[in-house]
Amino acid sequence: MLKLLKRTKLKIQTLYLQKQEYLYLKSSFLFFIFFIVTFNYPQLLYGEISPASVPFFKALSVKGKSDPEQVKSFLRESAINAREPVKSEARRTLLEVLYGEENYFAVSVLGETFLGENPGEKGIALFTALAFLELKDYNAVLRVGTLADYRNDTGLLYTVLMAEIAGNKPGMGDNLVRFLLETPVIASGGTVLRGPLKDRTKTLFTSVEKHLKEAGTYSALPSMVKTLLSFRIYAENRKFISAAGEAVKIISTGNSEYLSVGIADYAARIFALAGRSSAGIEAFERGISRGENGDLPDSILEHLYWGAGYLAGRRGFTPRALDYYTRGMEHASGSFHDKLLWYWYSLILHRSVSDALAKLDELTSLWIDPAYFSDLLSDLSAELIRKGNWEGIRGMLEKLNGKADGDVISRISYFTARAAREGFLDADETEIERWFNLSIESGEGLASGLYYKIMSTAALEKDSGGINGIFRIDNSSAAVPGKDCDELLYGAITFELSDYGKGVLENCRERFSLTAVRAFAAFLKESGDYINSIRILNRYLAALGYAASEDDIRILYPDAYRKGIEETALEEGIPVSVLYALIREESHFSADIVSAAGAVGLSQLMPSTAGDVASRMRMKTPVLTDPQINMKLGGWYLQNLMSRTDSVIQALFAYNGGLTRVRRWKKEYSALPEDLFLEAIPYRETSLYGRKVLVSAVIYGYLYHNRSLQEMVTTIFRSKT
């Protein structure tokens, strides 16, 4: 009964998020009636799910816990009767279960039947092809692969290649080269595979070589194919020096038959990792020479120029690197043109701030997407603040206004206004107010992009209009037409399949409506999975271009662990909105999260720091994944830093970057007020952290603690002296 009640509650939330007001049962009486009806007629709980799809979700909910035959029975029912995309999901899952049971014959028969109806379903095709591979029916593997267009899927291409090698098929050579050139790479040197092949990722190319040698076909391969295969094997095994040796041959040859844009970019990074930048530059030079003679298309040549520039820049050969990037732009188009331009301008900025300022007009005349350069322009403005070049800041605004991304204009106009108000620039109050208003009008985004809008509003002591004014709330976007994959998310909600829902969101990204995503994010929040509810909703609002609704803001900034956080804030004398903001930005309320550096829990404390704090609090060895313990330790630590610094914002900087560093930075930039000191901090992570916590604190103050924007900004930046 409790589970049904929970589902009823989720159902009501879903209806609310869909803005079906007439079904949103607000009174306790109607809720009681609704519960009684759904208890007797549980199919009403599945309003967004067709009856034929229900068995599929039941199968997922009992998979691994119930009789396998029952699971397969549920899957067969939906595989036959459900509508798409649930039908394909049920079929793929059924094949997965049968494949796990090593019932390859059943997989092959069912898989071919399913593909006869929908030949483009890659997941079904992969299990079917793998089953035929296990059955050593290599012709069938090729048939299935061709039907599903294996050339556009790494897993299918690998399976077809294995069949061609084992069966000594004539097309093996072409597919081997395609596989070596087009298989994506990840940072570790491995590849991206999915489903039943994901465990083979780390030794993928090694296994290909092994099968070639076992089949007796390796020795007959062309020498460049062997070189390409050796390059991928050395790279996946992190033998970068050996990989660089093979890369010299591939890049120098400049033969488009054995060279792709992915291999060119990967080779540049391998040369850098191996400490063979000079050899890499020479190889890229020879490849460029071939390309300029017409032996390579511009689509590859532009990447060779990038590789040469990247390596030359790492060696400190700045003029040479700039020349490579400039020549590369003559052959480039679209986003890769902007990539070359970004590296060109980055080198100029790191060589000379004054040169970067002088080159702004050239940069804006060449860029295609201004947003691509926002980080470099932010770095330039920070350098100008560190040097006290306030005329340079004003010059940036004059050159970029109307050309750069909105967040950049919001940032630079705020700096200009603040510099003038502090007396660093000559300007009257009318002009200062105009700059602040420009900052407010240009600010956008859901997180740190709002920072300058908030700070300018506070500086003008304006009425911000509350959350609506900060976020440009748009509740009209809540009722968005459904899309074909929505049923998958509603099923995940109804049957409490959070992992499944997160998985299909990754694999079916553009086929969900925002309404369904909002419902799923609300479900995750209700389930206590705050980190994923925040990330998922944030990503989809940005990707789909919708403004946030009021309900969205409460999902993005949840009042998680409310009792514990409020008690800790009161005990330590910390503004509760600040403690909420710190925990949100540190962990997104994930109690068991561990960072790459080893920081643990809600307030992301290092074990050594937590141990020291615990001893001062006379606490036994703390369990940092316990949310109550963690927040108490984090609250005490923040209060301790507040007592040793001049403001809340300095304590936050110290929390992120360390107290010793903050004192050194403050000594170096002592002439700057706190908000401009934030911009001068040389650690980008720490200055960004300060902005993000300020934004979150303002929002928490508005949503839950009845604090105005002006109050929160004053609280955080006010100096004790």
**Pair 710, 458: CB distance under 8 Å:** yes
Cα–Cα distance between 303 and 262 in angstroms, integer? Answer: 9
Half-sphere CA count of 217, side-chain side, radius 13 A: 20
Please identify which residue in the block is written with the tokens 């900087």: 653
For the stretch 284-287, contacts whose Cβ atoms lie closer than 8 Å and that sit 24 or more positions apart, written own/partner, are 284/251, 284/308, 284/311, 286/251, 286/252, 286/254, 287/251, 287/252, 287/253, 287/254, 287/259
Where does residue 721 rank: exposed (0-12), middle (13-18), buried (19+ CB within 10 A)?
Answer: exposed
C-alpha distances out from residue 295 to 209, 253, 300, Å: 29, 10, 10
3-10, long-range: CB within 8 Å, 24+ apart, which pairs? 4/35, 4/38, 4/39, 4/42, 4/45, 5/35, 6/496, 7/38, 7/45, 7/494, 7/496, 8/34, 8/35, 8/38, 8/45, 9/526, 10/493, 10/494, 10/523, 10/526
The CA distance from 518 to 476, in Å, is 14
Number of Cβ within a 10 Å radius of residue 540: 21
Residue 629 CB neighbour total at 10 angstroms: 20
Token pair listed for 607: 């074990």
Structure tokens at 349: 């900025």
Which residue, among 524, 492, 482, has the nearest Cα to 89 in the 3D structure? Answer: 492
**DSSP helix/strand/coil, 103:** coil
| Residues 273/185, Cβ–Cβ less than 8 Å | no
Residues present in the chain in total: 721
Q: Which residues contact 669 (CB under 8 A, 6 or more apart)?
A: 386, 677, 680
Beta bridge partners of 191: 185
Q: Is 379 exposed, middle or buried (0-12, 13-18, 19+ CB in 10 A)?
A: middle
Supply 37's token pair: 């009806």
- Hey, which residues does 600 pair with through a beta bridge? 594, 605
Which of the residues 96, 586, 674, 679 is marked catalytic? 586
Query: How far is Cα of residue 586 from the mean position of the Cα atoms in its chain?
Result: 16
Burial 602-617 (b: 16+ CB within 10 A, else e): bbbbeeeebbebbeee
422 neighbors 399 (Cβ within 8 angstroms): no
Q: Are 228 and 258 in contact (CB under 8 A)?
A: yes
Amino acid symbol at 607:
P
Q: Are the beta carbons of 128 and 121 closer than 8 angstroms?
A: no
Which tokens sit at 44?
A: 């009403």
Q: Is 69 a catalytic residue?
A: no
Which residues does the annotation mark as catalytic? 586
